[in-house]
Amino acid sequence: SQTIHQWPATLVQPVGSPLSLECTVEGTSNPNLYWYRQAAGRGLQLLFYSVGIGQISSEVPQNLSASRPQDRQFILSSKKLLLSDSGFYLCAWSPPRTGGLYEQYFGPGTRLTVT
Amino acid sequence: QKEVEQNSGPLSVPEGAIASLNCTYSDRVSQSFFWYRQYSGKSPELIMSIYSNGDKEDGRFTAQLNKASQYVSLLIRDSQPSDSATYLCAVNKKSGYNKLIFGAGTRLAVHP
């Protein structure tokens, strides 16, 4: 079965500090990978998605970036955090199918507080 | 108009009743529809998927899809306090990749 991991689970960082969040998926090959952010009491905002190693597409302009150095590893980064970067960061994966099923499965998330 | 709309709630139902959660979407060519459950402080969990018009049942959950009306719903029979959560509707946006558009969610409260 497939498992998705995220770390750290919680993070408190000062404004202007760098950020690195990691996501790994087990039990599948060539998954589509996604980073979402959920602000308190708000919906899910898609930040980045990736269909393969080194292939990153950005959905929203911001001070965040993403990388996919390995097939099942997805990293979210920032050089300088803003207060508005606080939120619940979720990594998700979906099977690399075409047509039909497009379900996504979420990791446990990282709760980031920028102070 | 939002691409996926849900009533934010809270929807309050007594234990044992049927909870009915609704979702409308704007992209007529959408093909896949999903319901996620999100407990407070946790990540969303996929509970139902539906692709064809009509009903799909899984245990106490029934998803209903009406593509002509661009409407998808989730029924929860015999609601339990453990069903209290936010329910997110997600719709596949037909494009060159697998992208889901999420509604803001409906908060369900089941009271004993």
What are the helix (H) ranges across A17-81?
none
What are the helix (H) ranges across B1-112?
none
The single-letter DSSP state of residue B2 is: -
Which of B41, B45, B102 is nearest residue A43 as measured by Cβ atoms?
A: B102
What integer pLDDT is reported at residue B97 of this predicted model?
63
Higher-pLDDT residue of B53, B93: B53
Instruction: Pick out chain A residues at pLDDT < 50.
Output: none
What is the pLDDT averaged over residues B76-94? 93
Inter-chain touch A32–B97, beta carbons under 8 Å: yes
Which of A49, A102, A106 is nearest residue B32 as measured by Cβ atoms?
A: A102
Q: Are A50 and A33 in contact (CB under 8 A)?
A: yes
What integer pLDDT is reported at residue A95 of this predicted model?
85
Residues of B with CB under 8 A from a CB of A: 31-32, 34, 36, 41-46, 49, 51, 88, 90, 92, 97-100, 102-105
- At residue B95, what are phi and psi to the nearest 5 degrees? -160, -165
What integer pLDDT is reported at residue B8 of this predicted model?
87
Chain A residues touching residue B51 (CB < 8 angstroms): 100-101
Residue among B72, B32, B71 at smallest CA distance from B63: B72
Inter-chain touch B90–A42, beta carbons under 8 Å: no
Chain A residues touching residue B45 (CB < 8 angstroms): 106
What integer pLDDT is reported at residue B29 of this predicted model?
82
Residues in a beta bridge with A67: A75
Residue A7: CB atoms within 10 Å:
13
What integer pLDDT is reported at residue B28 of this predicted model?
85
Residues in a beta bridge with B110: B13
A64-70 and A55-58 strand pairing: unpaired
What integer pLDDT is reported at residue B27 of this predicted model?
86
What integer pLDDT is reported at residue B39 of this predicted model?
97
Three-state DSSP state, A47: strand
Residue B94 pLDDT exceeds 70: no
What integer pLDDT is reported at residue A42 of this predicted model?
79
What integer pLDDT is reported at residue A64 of this predicted model?
95
Minimum distance, in Å, between the CA of residue B18 and any CA atom of chain A: 25
Chain A residues touching residue B97 (CB < 8 angstroms): 32, 49, 51, 57
What integer pLDDT is reported at residue A97 of this predicted model?
67
| pLDDT tens-digit series, residues A71-88 | 999 999 999 999 999 999
